[in-house]
Structure 1
Amino acid sequence: MDINDDVEAMQSRTRTELGEPFIEKTWINDEEPSKEKSRGKESIAYVFISTLAVVVGSYELGSCVAYSAPVQSAISKDLELSVAEFSLFGSLLNVGAVIGAITSGHMADQCGRKGAMRISAVICSAGWVAIYFSKGALLLSIGRLFTGCGIGVLSFVLPIYIAEIASKELRGGLATLTQLMFVIGIASTLILGTVVTWQTLALTCILPCLVLLLGLLFIPESPRWLAKAGHQKEFIDALRRFRGDDADISHEAAEIQENLQSLTCMPKVGLLDLFDRRYLHVVTIGVGLMFLQQFGGVNGIGLYASEIFVSAGFTSGKLEVVAFGCIQVPMTALCAVLMDNCGRKPLLLVSATGTFVGCFLTGTSFILKSHGIGQGWVPILVLAGMLIYIGSFSIGMGAIPWVMMSEILPINVKGAAGSLVNLVNWLSAWAVSYSFNFLMQWSPSGTFYVYSGFCAVAVLYVIKVVPETKGKTLEEIQASLNSA
């Protein structure tokens, strides 16, 4: 029996499990196609609602990242923290995220996508409670570490879950909603932090965790994880719910099962196995994108944007920081709209090119300032460079590496490889944010030229290494990468 016979038999078995006769459907009028179109819309709505139920976790991620910025002076005063103690408090988020990243893949494999999200939401909530009741640096730091662990897991599991429930036509746009909610979470926390106490702000940051826990009660587990875990009936039921009650899911179900059966012949994959030739290509794509995403400077530039604007000649930089933060929301929304129309690779190229232009313009502006040339234009040029940079980042490099990670990693290595890719991202984020002030003391222009160099490498990397995944099922992506 050849592979076509296997697929046909599997389709027959799947339809039998669904209680459907193994016959081809033919229509003699337009009545049934119109019903199928309506049912398609209903299934799209269900996938969209399920996505909304989990992307609140990305809002939580943004809240965690932004929390320290508006509360620094208040926490330092109320708890009598030294600069070193508050700096430790801020940096522990990335430390916790690294711990979460290391465990995220194994947790998602063993507990399921929903189980991993539940655990991370509970961990984050515990962290915020600890921060709320803090009377000194110790409990405050423990709380920050816990929130970091929680978002380290969430940042991996969320795009994986969305990619595994969405159809190939919707996957890119829906996955980009994670980045959109992330920047909305940042903006909301920054604004709210200016009008409430740091304790109250900590309580508000628990709300997304509670909403996530509630939403997880009403949505199915990832069908692909259910199939991998051997829960056949639940797999069929979940896939049916995501595709519509009367949709013919036999081909997709058979494709998923066939792909999983081929993977069961492979040995269990550990971290060192990822450097095997069969996995090295996809791991290189994921690690490379995450490395270049961060070393383009986004964490340093974003965290210290106000200081950059003050260095350029602005009085306080507050209005400029508001513009810097607000532009991310519409540009990320535009990314969500364009991703499944234009494709991942074109948006990455536009984004990486734009970040190069933004960094190069900002670096050149600081050179003009250091030589006393065009002093009146320097602040305007820096603002323009910064807005070009963050707008370009938001339209591609911000979201697409996470989307592609969820698409290109085979399900049998998503645990180990996902942990590695997630770890690289958070370690790179820590390295960039930690080194930024030292680089600026060395040379403001040199700092941005270094970042522009990484952005230029990102352009070449996308051209040479990164594949296009638009319009393909996850199984089709695996087949194309294996044949490359």
Structure 2
Amino acid sequence: MPLSQENEDLKKPFLHTGSWYRMNNDSKKSTLYTSTKAMRDASISVFFCVLVLALGPIQFGFTIGYTSPTQSAIINDLGLSVPEFSLFGSLSNVGGMVGAIISGQIAEYIGRKGSLVIASVPNIIGWLLISFANDIIFLYMGRLLEGFGVGIMSYTVPVYIADIAPQKLRGRFVSVNQLSLTIGIMLAYLLGIFVEWRILAVLGVLPCAILMPALFFLPESPRWLAKMGMKEEFQIALQVLRGFDADISSEVQEITIGIGLLGLQQLSGMNAILFYTNTIFQNAATLGVGGVQVLATFVTFWLADKAGRRLLLLVSSGAMTFSLVLVAVSFYVTDYVPEDSFLHVILSILAVIGVLVMVIGFSLGLGPIPWIIMSEILPVNIQSLAGSVATLANWLSSWLVTLTANMLLNWSSGGTFTIYTVICALAVWFIAIWVPETKGKTFEDIQVFFK
């Protein structure tokens, strides 16, 4: 069936007879109207899809943020030691690594929607196990399961969003992944102030419980449908996403470094801040960190398709390096200053400012942009395998940071942040040498660049 006829058939369930605006090919005004309307329809359709998919990274963020407000209560209630709790916190990363290994293959064989349904089940079970845990075994099992689920989501959601988003809005929409993650962290911090740790775990079930039925109202990824040879389904999905006025013929023809960035993203030490903020600061500062991260990531949502990915990464890693130097020096000097002195207060404030600047820097680039670039640079023929490896690198790095953070902070706060400073400086070098600009380029243009 010709594509034009398919478009007419697709319109029928949505439009009343005679209400369709017919474009006059000789009229520039009609062409402009139709083009604008198509872009608006496409943005609305994709926005609805992204709004649903945002529940996945919200779940991810809730998992990250859960350990910060609950550390003292869980240790006291279950009689854990600090190393045992650190292991509990890090086990989500172990589960995440397993999920990352198979995430690409699952997304390859059963599609993006099916992957997210599968990922939701262990998440729900994991949170329930934590909520009803009376010993350390159930606590660990629950953490592993929820980590496994978000490990699959951490690859699938940004790739899914990149697949369905229009080229000019791709960076903005993929940035929603990181924005939603920070909202999840913020929710865990905020709700953790008011409810005890078992109830907080029950609340962790909600994002996936809503996501699973909502997925049935979303179209499958057009790129995945095309790759699987489902031409008719592919064109229908793409037409629905782009709007019925849109000419998708050129995009139909077009659709046929992430490891380093995602590793450095975690080794920068950001998860040490997010998992154990209460260990470093008090509740007010913890909530402040969460709030600042949400606001800064929201700014990135607007900048990703304007300033460029590479520039944001350089600014981000540079700001993080500077702020970590400030934090490290503050902690070093604090050790030699009396606690009741005015200088000690000033140094403590400087440390908090440094951490907040680090969070802003991370949220402006090193947090969201690696996921955008990963979804853009991987060739279709190896996307599932390479995406899994890149996501695995991210989870492995996150596990190393979260496992060692408490122990390193007990050893030396200044020394801990010095290590993270060196890694962020390496990130600046890595981005300057290796990372290309992908803003405004089609997937095919990016592949030609690498060839």
Q: Does 1:433 align with 2:398?
A: no
Gaps of 5+ in 1: 1-11, 261-284, 310-316
**How far apart in 1 are the matches of 2:152 and 2:262?**
16
CA contact (8 A) 1:352 1:458 kept: yes
d(CA) in 1 for partners of 2:407 and 2:138? 29
- Quote the Cα distance in structure 2 between the aligned partners of 1:238 and 1:298: 38
Do 2:189 and 2:286's aligned partners in 1 also have CA atoms closer than 8 Å?
Answer: no
Aligned in 2, Cα 1:14/1:42: closer, same or farther, shift over 3 Å?
Answer: closer
Within 2, Cα distance between the matches of 1:29 and 1:380? 60
2:260 corresponds to which residue?
A: 288
Matching residue's letter, 2:312: L
Structure 2 residue identity aligned to 1:350: V
Does residue 393 of the first structure (1) align with residue 362 of the second (2)? yes
1:449 paired residue among 409, 418, 431: 418
Which residue number corresponds to residue 94 of structure 1?
Answer: 93
1:153 and 2:152 aligned? yes
Q: Indicate if the aligned counterparts of 2:68 and 2:276 stay in contact, CA closer than 8 A.
A: no
Q: In the TM superposition, what is the alpha-carbon distance from 1:75 to its structure 2 partner?
A: 3.4
8 A Cα contact 2:7 2:244, kept in partner: no
The residue aligned with 1:416 is 385
Does residue 1:330 correspond to 2:274, yes or no?
no
CA distances 1:419-459 after superposition (whole Å, capped 9, x unpaired): 11111111111111222233334433232222111111111
From 302, 308, 311, the counterpart of 2:274: 302
Q: Distance in 2 between matches of 1:60 and 1:241?
A: 27
Q: Deviations over 1:332-352 (max 9, x none)?
A: 000111110111011111101
| Shift in CA distance, 353/83, structure 1 to aligned 2, threshold 3 Å | closer
The equivalent position to 1:340 in structure 2, one of 305, 327, 335, is 305
TM-score, normalization by structure 1: 0.85
- In structure 2, C-alpha distance between the alignment counterparts of 1:85 and 1:376, rounded to whole Å: 32
1:124 to 2:93 alignment? no
Equivalent position amino acid for 1:340 in 2: D
Q: Distance in 2 between the 1:441 and 1:143 partners? A: 27
Residues 429, 174 of structure 1: alpha-carbon distance in 2 compared, 3 angstrom cutoff: same
Alpha-carbon distance, 1:83 to partner: 4.6
Deviations 1:449-481 (A, max 9, x none): 221111111112111110111111212211222
Conserved? CA contact 1:18–1:236, under 8 Å? no
Which of residues 435, 441, 444 in structure 2 aligns to 1:472? 441
Q: Is residue 195 of structure 2 the alignment partner of residue 196 of structure 1?
A: yes
Take 1:65 and 1:112, find their aligned partners in 2: how far apart are those partners? 26
CA–CA separation in structure 1 for the residues paired with 2:280 and 2:135:
31
Give the Cα separation in 2 of the matches to 1:397 and 1:26: 46
Q: 1:473 to 1:361 in 2, by over 3 A?
A: same
Secondary structure of residue in 2 paired with 1:170:
helix
For residues 168 and 341 of structure 1, what CA distance do their matches in structure 2 show? 13
Offset, 1:19: 7.5
Moved more, 121-130 or 154-163: 121-130
**Alpha-carbon distance in 2 for matches of 1:66, 1:442:** 23
- Deviation, 1:135, is 3.1
* Structure 1: distance between partners of 2:76 and 2:276: 21
Distance in 1, matches of 2:63 and 2:268, equals 22
TM-score by length of 2: 0.91
Residue by residue over 1:51-71, the C-alpha shift from the partner in whole angstroms, topping out at 9 and shown as x without a partner, is 111111110111112222222
Question: Which residue is equivalent to 2:12?
Answer: none
Higher mean C-alpha displacement, 192-201 vs 91-100: 192-201
- Aligned residue type for 1:474: F
Q: 1:19 to 1:341 in 2, by over 3 A?
A: same
**Could you say which residue in structure 1 is the equivalent of 2:164?**
165
Instruction: Check the 8 A contact 2:24/2:30 in 1, yes or no.
Output: no
Matched-pair contact (CA < 8 Å) for 1:15–1:250: no
Q: 1:43, CA displacement in angstroms? A: 1.4
- In the other structure, the counterpart of 1:320 is 285
Alpha-carbon offset, residue 16 of structure 1: 7.5
Question: Counterpart in 2 of 1:356?
Answer: 321
**One-letter amino acid of the structure 2 residue matched with residue 125 of structure 1:** I
What do you get for the CA RMSD once the two structures are aligned? 2.2
CA distance in structure 2 between the aligned counterparts of 1:33 and 1:459, rounded to whole angstroms: 43
CA separation of 1:196/1:379 partners in 2, compared to 1, >3 Å: closer, same or farther? same
Tell me how far 1:155 sits from its aligned partner.
Answer: 0.5
1:130–1:142 CA contact under 8 A, matched in 2: yes
Partner SS, residue 173 of structure 2: helix
Aligned to 2:210: 211
- Is it true that 1:463 corresponds to 2:445 in the alignment? no
CA distance in structure 1 between the partners assigned to 2:142 and 2:418 by the alignment = 37
Q: CA–CA distance in 2 between the matches of 1:449 and 1:76?
A: 29
Match of 1:475, SS?
Answer: helix
Match of 2:14 in 1: none
Partners of 2:323 and 2:308 in 1: how far apart?
A: 23
Q: Which runs of 4+ in 1 moved over 6 A?
A: none
Partners of 2:178 and 2:367 within 8 A in 1: yes
Confirm or deny that 1:182 pairs with 2:181: yes
Q: Which moved more, 1:50-59 or 1:68-77?
A: 68-77
Residue 370 (structure 2) pairs with residue 405 (structure 1): no
After TM superposition, give the deviation of residue 402 of structure 1 in Å.
Answer: 0.8
Aligned letter for 1:199? R
Q: Secondary structure at the match of 2:194?
A: coil
Q: Comparing 150-159 with 24-33, which one deviates more in the overlay?
A: 24-33
Deviation at 1:385, TM superposition (A): 1.0
Aligned-partner Cα distance in 1 for 2:409–2:345:
21
